Amino acid sequence: MFYYNILFIIFVLSVKSARILKDTIGFPESEENVNLVNRENRHPIYLPSLCGENELYYPGDQKDDWICDCRPGYLYYPEKNSCWPAFRRGPCSSDEHLVLRLNSVIPICVTNPCVDGFVMWKGRCERLGSTGPCPNEFPPAVLWINATTITVECIALNFDNRYDTYTSIEMCLPGCKRHVQSMCVPRIM
């Protein structure tokens, strides 16, 4: 019985020290999983442990060059080194919102005649995400950001889950971090 106790204590101690060792060294578990899962199926994924707020993890040209960048519909604002939702106040002053002008690379703050969360649409302030401004559409649509053009449009509601919606998106979207930093060129520009 005495020996069993000793053995048990040794077992517990070795399990504990293995854990501590693992925590200290910090094995890149998540990255490895990403590569395993997406080696064939290269699309951006949500990986908050590795990427910043409002970012996804995007595959690059090579197998192992994944990189964090803004979610679709979000813009990289170099001054703050982070991604912000297009057509929202974000890093701008209280009467402004963040937009990306056609054929430009760096998002800018411009006056928003509406309150934050609303945009000018057909002469009226309409709420982003509302269906009212997009009547008689099938499938139903909401007023939202087209991530490919960074413009406000009636966007058809996608009933797929979140994971699937990322499979079809462009890898280099206008105003994303890599675009702003000249690391990629959006197809649309």
- Residues in the site for ligand NAG, rule: CB under 6 A? 146, 148-149, 153, 155
User: Between residues 75 and 92, which has the closer beta carbon with respect to ligand NAG?
Assistant: 75
Q: In this chain, which residue has its C-beta nearest to ligand NAG?
A: 146
User: Between residues 109 and 154, which has the closer beta carbon with respect to ligand NAG?
Assistant: 154
Bridge partners (DSSP) listed for residue 84: 75
Instruction: Assess contact for 90 and 73: CB atoms under 8 A.
Output: no
The number of beta carbons lying within 10 Å of the beta carbon of residue 177 is 23
Q: Supply the minimum distance, in Å, between the C-beta of residue 12 and ligand NAG.
A: 55
Tell me, what DSSP letter sits at residue 45?
Answer: B
Is omega for the bond preceding 113 within 30 degrees of 0, making it cis? no
User: Between residues 38 and 148, which has the closer beta carbon with respect to ligand NAG?
Assistant: 148
Q: Computed over its alpha carbons, how large is the radius of gyration of the chain?
A: 23
Q: Supply the minimum distance, in Å, between the C-beta of residue 73 and ligand NAG.
A: 10
Q: Supply the minimum distance, in Å, between the C-beta of residue 65 and ligand NAG.
A: 27
Q: Supply the minimum distance, in Å, between the C-beta of residue 110 and ligand NAG.
A: 21
User: Between residues 29 and 137, which has the closer beta carbon with respect to ligand NAG?
Assistant: 137
d(CA 79, CA 71): 18
Tell me, what DSSP letter sits at residue 176?
Answer: -
